[in-house]
Structure 1
Amino acid sequence: MNFGLTEEQQLIVDTTRAFVENELYPHEAEVERTGHLRMELVNEIQAKAIAAGLYAANMPEEVGGAGLDTVTWLLYEKELGRANYALHWTCVARPSNILLAGSDAQKEKYLYPCIRGEKWDCLAMTEPGAGSDLRGMKASAVQDGGDWVLNGTKHFISHADIADFAICFMATGEEETPRGKKKKITAFFVDKGTPGFSVRDGYRNVSHRGYTNSILEFDDCRIPADQVLGEVHKGFEVANTWLGATRLQVGATCLGRAERALEHSVEYAAQRSQFGQSIGKNQGVSFKLADMATELKAANLMVFEAGWKFDQGTVTDQDMAMAKLKATEMLAYVADEAIQIHGGMGLMDDLPLERIWRDARVERIWEGTSEIQRHIISRAMLRAKGA
């Protein structure tokens, strides 16, 4: 693994950083204080992101994306992660890679409009009674002639309020396994406006203001068979094939926020004086800075090593779980220490630190909780010993 950046990678980092600082930072206060991201603002920034070549950059070149390798994509995600989540995720959208699993007709209808900025997607897996245990989902789809009829509820569905369609995972049967019966899962495209499909406001969230979640309800929602994504009963295979790097994406955005918090902390420690000297000269502060920098570097190395291994085709679930676990828990630590260094000012919304601190909390929950990551890691270790 080459630890240096190529000229192209450095250009992408510099371009993305400049865009974040010039186009996203100025609007953070509005989004944080109102909890709302205006569509006029979304459209304005989206047009600038498209013009800058930053929109849908996660997609392969052959479908209109930037064709970034995984390491370069994570560098890009890290820079975007420095800003308010709603601003960078909605205005500089990265459509779900799972859209690449669609048929040619499905790509024309769903993928390409998302890449052009004409549509937004959302991914619907989680249910009130099924979070990490997707096999426990109750929302179902039953075949009826040439159609499928969907019933049930999904919740915590990110930005479903603005999405034009949902990619929904539904139980479509059961199978016998050595550990008993397990649900068969199928993925479906469901267009907003389809009879029987409704989107309700979700919950108020302490993290990522302006980035909404919704409740999806299906009441005898009938869709044609050509809206199955992938193969019937093969929803898990589709998800595992196309969604594998999302944990690295979470890790990369955590790196960006932690880096921003550390930068503020170093600057404050150097400028703030107490008892006739900068507070950075006190070991109580300087040691915090050293530990924050060390934890951030360790997380950086883990995330980018996993990204490099992803490109080599050697990455494991254990690698990605370790990277996600380390980066998300590192962010929580760095954000907390940054506020401690700043004292009372750290909790004021004049600085981005209280936001980073709040936003950090959800990272240890979504895309697999820290406990799930530890389970993946320990299971891999024990399986190697036959346990």
Structure 2
Amino acid sequence: MDFGLSDEQRMIVATTRAFVEAELYPHEAMVERTGHLPMEVIREVQAKAIAAGLYAANMPEEVGGAGLDTLTWLLYEKELGRANYALHWTCVARPSNILLAGTAEQRERYLLPCVRGEKWDCLAMTEPGAGSDLRGMKATARLEGGDWVLNGTKHFISHADLADFAIVFMASGEEDTPRGRKKRITAFFVDKGTPGFTVRDGYRNVSHRGYTNAILEFDNCRLPAAQVLGEAHKGFDVANTWLGATRLQVASTCLGRAERALGLAISYAAERRQFGQQIGKFQGVSFKLADMAMELKAAELLTREAAWKFDQGTVTEADMSMAKLKATEVLAMVADEAIQIHGGMGLMDELPLERIWRDARVERIWEGTSEIQRHIISRELLRAVDG
């Protein structure tokens, strides 16, 4: 594994960072204080992101994306992660790569408009009674006269209010397994405006202001078979094939925010004077900076290694879980210590630190809680012994 970056990777990092600082940072205070990202801002920044070649950069070249390898994509994600989440996710959208699992017709209808910035997608799995345990979902899809009829509720669905369609996972039957009967899952495309499909406002969230969540309700929502993504009853296969790297994406955006917080803490420790000297010269502060830098480096190395292994085809579930777990917990530590170094000013919204601190909390919950990541890691360790 080469720890150095290529000229192309350095150029992508520099271009993305410059865009974030020039086009996203200026809107952060407005979004944080209002909790709202106006459509005129979205369209303005989106147009600039498309012109800069940064929009939908996670997608392959053959569908209009940048065709980045996994490591380069995550370097790009890290730079975007420095900014308010609603701004970078909405204005510099990265459509879910699960859209690549669609048929040629589905790609034309759903994938390509998202790449061009004409549509947004959202992914709906979580339910009030089924978060980490997806097979515990209660929302159902049943075949009736050649159509599928969907019933049930999904919640915590990110940016569903903005999305033009949802990719929805539903329990579609049961199957016998060595551990007893388990639910089968099927994925569907559901367009906004489909009869029986309602999007309601979700919950007020302490993290990621401006980045909304919604409640999706399905009441005898009828869909033709052509709306199935992948094969019927094979929703888990689709998800496992196309969604694995999302944990690395979370890790990378966390690294960007942690690096921004550390940079602010270092600058403040060098500039702020107390008792006749820079506060960075006091051991109580200098050791914090050392620990923050060391832990951030460890998280970045774990994430880069997992990205490299992903492209080699050797990555394991534990590799990705370690990266996600370490990066999210390091972000929480770095944000907290950066505020401590700043003292009272760290909690004021004149600085981005209180936002980074608040935003850090959700990262240890979504895309698999820290407990789920530890379960995946320990399960892989034990399998090596149990055979």
Q: Same fold (TM over 0.5)?
A: yes
1: CA distance, partners of 2:192 / 2:15: 35
2: CA distance, partners of 1:386 / 1:291: 36
Aligned to 1:7: 7
Amino acid across the alignment from 2:222? R
Aligned to 1:349: 349
Measured after TM superposition, the shift of residue 228 of structure 1 is 0.2
Aligned to 1:199: 199
Structure 1 unpaired stretches of 5+: none
Structure 2 unpaired stretches of 5+: none
Aligned to 2:274: 274
2: CA distance, partners of 1:290 / 1:31: 32
Amino-acid identity (%): 83
2: CA distance, partners of 1:145 / 1:94: 36
Aligned to 1:374: 374
Is the counterpart of residue 229 in structure 1 residue 202 in structure 2? no
Report the secondary structure of 2:386's partner residue.
coil
- Matching of residues 91-130 of structure 1 within 5 Å: 91-130=91-130
Aligned to 2:90: 90
Measured after TM superposition, the shift of residue 372 of structure 1 is 0.1
2: CA distance, partners of 1:333 / 1:181: 42
Is the counterpart of residue 80 in structure 1 residue 63 in structure 2? no
Report the secondary structure of 1:66's partner residue.
coil
- Matching of residues 206-285 of structure 1 within 5 Å: 206-285=206-285
2: CA distance, partners of 1:334 / 1:162: 32
1: CA distance, partners of 2:124 / 2:382: 32
Number of matched pairs: 387
Report the secondary structure of 1:355's partner residue.
helix
Is the counterpart of residue 54 in structure 1 residue 59 in structure 2? no
2: CA distance, partners of 1:66 / 1:250: 20
Report the secondary structure of 1:385's partner residue.
helix
Measured after TM superposition, the shift of residue 160 of structure 1 is 0.1
Amino acid across the alignment from 1:358? R
Deviation per residue, 1:74-108 (Å, 9 max, x gap): 00000000000000000000000000000000000
Aligned to 1:316: 316
Report the secondary structure of 1:93's partner residue.
coil
| TM-score, length basis structure 1 | 1.00
Deviation per residue, 1:132-161 (Å, 9 max, x gap): 000000000001112100000000000000
2: CA distance, partners of 1:260 / 1:306: 22
Aligned to 1:184: 184
2: CA distance, partners of 1:92 / 1:147: 36
Report the secondary structure of 1:218's partner residue.
strand
**Further displaced range: 98-107 or 179-188:** 179-188
Measured after TM superposition, the shift of residue 178 of structure 1 is 2.0
1: CA distance, partners of 2:33 / 2:130: 32
1: CA distance, partners of 2:67 / 2:36: 32
Deviation per residue, 1:240-263 (Å, 9 max, x gap): 000010000000000000000000
Deviation per residue, 1:162-218 (Å, 9 max, x gap): 000000000000112222211100000000000000000000000000000000000
1: CA distance, partners of 2:165 / 2:265: 42
Moved over 3 A (4+): none
2: CA distance, partners of 1:386 / 1:288: 41
2: CA distance, partners of 1:346 / 1:106: 48
Report the secondary structure of 1:384's partner residue.
helix
2: CA distance, partners of 1:155 / 1:41: 27
Deviation per residue, 1:254-281 (Å, 9 max, x gap): 0000000000000000000000000000
2: CA distance, partners of 1:175 / 1:137: 15
1: CA distance, partners of 2:209 / 2:195: 30
1: CA distance, partners of 2:297 / 2:383: 30
Aligned to 1:157: 157
| TM-score, length basis structure 2 | 1.00
2: CA distance, partners of 1:101 / 1:43: 28
Report the secondary structure of 1:215's partner residue.
strand
Deviation per residue, 1:294-313 (Å, 9 max, x gap): 00000000001000000000
